[in-house]
Amino acid sequence: MPIAIHGRIFNESAKPFVQSMFDELAERSVNLLISESYQNFLSESGINYSNASFYDPTDGFVEADFMLSLGGDGTLLEAVTHVGKNETPIVGINTGRLGFLATIPPDKIRENIQELLTGNYEIEKRKLVSIESETDIFGRTNFGLNELGIMKTDSSSMIVVKAYLNGDYLNAYWADGLIISTPTGSTGYCMSVGGPLVMPTSDIFVIAPMSPHNLNVRPLVVSSDAVLTFEVESRSKNYLISLDSRSKVVDSTVKITMKQALFKAHLVKMPETNFLSTLRSKLNWGLDVRN
């Protein structure tokens, strides 16, 4: 099978490194399967490639040996929806900004492609959330790697999210919304609302309220085999539901059930990277102006 490639716009400074990646793949006669949106950008930027065909992610989940994601974490989240239940291993190449998932820097692209093609890598299996409801909200991409978000749609009134854990009543969250995060998503939206940082292969989900009205409400860690159900009360009669970077406005009568997806995201981990070093570098841990 080919190597699939999906990406976004990159800075001019990254262009030589991206071209070197395609050169390396061409030298090894690797067949490429490029997303149609990325094909358009590559053509505009003057990147040369060969042995390529193209895919539309709405036609079905991509089948390939690997998926190369060139961009930031948002690009990799899109790549997860492109491969879906096929569990194609995803390589995160960072041509964007802050990246907890896309960890390969531009100047290491060619080197890491060589590592990939010689089998010098590991696979981390990351949990996904999936949702169900009486309304078909996200179609076949009803899953996310980072989080499920339930949020208000207007700028004034908070919403009430009634949460049930394995059928038992948990709490009514008076807040701007609720984030239910995977371990992978702990460094995303969950972190920005005060949730804990979690080792990415942990067997948990984190329920974190957004701007709760009651200050004694705190993030809650639950088992990853939990089934969570949510009912929403809203003055606007609707609310916003999101899976990673995708969102839809739904009627407040729609109930949402969330649980762990039946498949996982397979992320390629190169030998020189690990989660702790990524935390230190991205969050500037240990840095002090006095040093």
CA distances from 16 to 19, 58, 199, 205 (A): 5, 31, 34, 40
Packing angle, helices 109-117 and 15-27, rounded to 10:
30
Cβ(125)–Cβ(266) under 8 Å? Answer: yes
Task: Give all strands (DSSP E) within the chain, no chain letters.
Answer: 3-7, 32-35, 52-55, 66-71, 90-94, 122-126, 129-132, 143-144, 147-151, 159-165, 168-175, 177-181, 204-210, 220-223, 228-233, 238-243, 246-251, 256-260, 265-269
Numbers of helices and strands, H then E, in the chain: 6, 19
Q: Which residues are catalytic?
A: 73
**What is the number of other CB atoms lying within 10 angstroms of the CB of residue 38?**
23
> What is the distance between the alpha carbons of residues 214 and 218, in angstroms, rounded to a whole number?
9
